[in-house]
Structure 1
């Protein structure tokens, strides 16, 4: 079959080639025969033969040749099939995008996250979101509560996941509790306090500490640990919200910190950190969601909220099972 000129072939393909021709070619490739393709497509063999002749005429090339195992693609046919699959994939993606736009499940979801939510809760919720086929981009921004609240009010965040401090109604914020989170005092597994069966409060005043910075909801309970027991705050300490920094200071530099239990559990179970045997009398702080009251969440953000709720329930159940 003589090859047509590029312009003639392009004009013919645009005007005459249909998706049914591409699906028919795929069926012949999979079945290695006209009869097998007809059975797959639930049409007659003459219809398959006619469709193949049309496709080859439109493209100006022969796509198949008969071999010992039935019909086999020619060199040009293999190139056509490769492009055909790319075309069909693009059409599938267009269809998926239309579905997402029609349902509102599109666009970027931006989450402000505090330390307590970063190691487990947010990743688990994103995994659930993907498992449910919601393939929207999710941007996670870490920061202090004050900074995240400012971004939420400015419309730069869809929601905040973390501690739930008291808010006034005039702040136009809504909150939802996902659970209660206790604070535990932790040190590296090799720290002298980690090897004790009992740790006294006055022992803490002699340790090097990593404190939550001002503005963090966890700071007040940690500071109360010292004031309620008449202890002086250690003169040398580090303030940070970065768990990577805290973790390195605990494991490698012999410091002590008071952190949300769920933040440290993986490192505790892996043997890197130890929860010190010390009564922490302060009440657990609420963990949950904070959103703008006057801006309804997008459908995609609402789906992420649902996944955060489910992930929080599963995480709480898992922590309860691991407790002695």
Structure 2
């Protein structure tokens, strides 16, 4: 591919949005609906883009489309450009009115119940006209949002190695505990084990999450299968309601159960399972003043959270 050809005027912003949507949704139908265009229009735009680049970006199959090696590489660059343009718009808006601005933060289970709400409350106390937008999704979906600039940063569990193009900022460590509602029959057991709980219904994280893989290892170490009666859920609101209204059991970060009067941890050790909670942000993109302000409050709130080990 001749790099200067990308600057000859044929490549448009809509092409970048196109590959972002196609890679995110995995189908022409889903991408067209997201972009609010017809499928023929999207297909024609993709054909034009592949002609400009001189490579095939997607493999077509009966279940949708899959990025090729070229498609994955170009999507990453397209999302970087889109993110920079989004950030430029926010930066200019804040320069025009320092009291306004928007910060968009992604979150998943860890840190969503205490850390983030308290930091947002403190931020709004300082800057009441600043808009805070919260996106809750799986870690994988939030990473794509971060790369595309749809979120400024993500608050939640940190991975061992930062994903390409991201940096991590540790805030605190938090153990993982098995949790059930207060009054759950398992609380009457003198010294419960994982085997004692296997026949209860369970709420497990999605298969794509690190917590799910670690829980599978817990069952494996106890020579147990996964609970036969189980559902998969990553929404903290849905998960909590299932726990307090039924006899379901779940593995949660300690602070979620500790702060909820209707939940109670079970006296079963899941060592060495724990969460390192922190912020995942862009490695090369400059954050807006609003995003920096929220980060400062996250640091202050995290300093006051004591996680028992």
- Shorter-chain-normalised TM-score: which range? 0.5 to 0.7
- What is the CA distance between 1:100 and its match in structure 2? 6.1
**Cα 1:197–1:103, aligned 2, differ >3 Å: closer, same or farther?**
farther
Separation (CA, whole Å) in 2 of partners of 1:105 and 1:211: 42
Separation (CA, whole Å) in 2 of partners of 1:223 and 1:249: 21
- What is the CA distance between 1:223 and its match in structure 2? 1.6
**Cα 1:174–1:105, aligned 2, differ >3 Å: closer, same or farther?**
farther
* Structure showing the higher helix proportion among its residues: 1
| Structure 1 runs of 4+ with >4 Å offset | 102-105
Q: Are residues 1:107 and 2:97 paired?
A: no
- What is the CA distance between 1:102 and its match in structure 2? 6.0
Q: Are residues 1:204 and 2:178 paired?
A: no
Separation (CA, whole Å) in 2 of partners of 1:120 and 1:138: 16
Separation (CA, whole Å) in 2 of partners of 1:265 and 1:137: 29
Corresponding residue SS for 1:315: coil
Larger Rg: 1
Q: Are residues 1:295 and 2:289 paired?
A: no
Residues 144-197 of structure 1 show CA distances to partners (whole Å, capped at 9, x for unaligned) of 00000000001111000001113357x110100001111000111121111223
Separation (CA, whole Å) in 1 of partners of 2:157 and 2:210: 6
The count of residues paired between Structure 1 and Structure 2 equals 218
- What is the CA distance between 1:133 and its match in structure 2? 3.2
Separation (CA, whole Å) in 2 of partners of 1:149 and 1:100: 25
Whether the 8 Å CA contact 1:197–1:277 is kept in 2: the answer is: no
Q: Are residues 1:306 and 2:296 paired?
A: yes
- What is the CA distance between 1:279 and its match in structure 2? 1.4
Corresponding residue SS for 2:133: strand
Whether the 8 Å CA contact 1:162–1:289 is kept in 2: the answer is: yes
Separation (CA, whole Å) in 2 of partners of 1:251 and 1:117: 20
Alignment of 1:44-59 (within 5 A): none
Separation (CA, whole Å) in 1 of partners of 2:126 and 2:264: 36
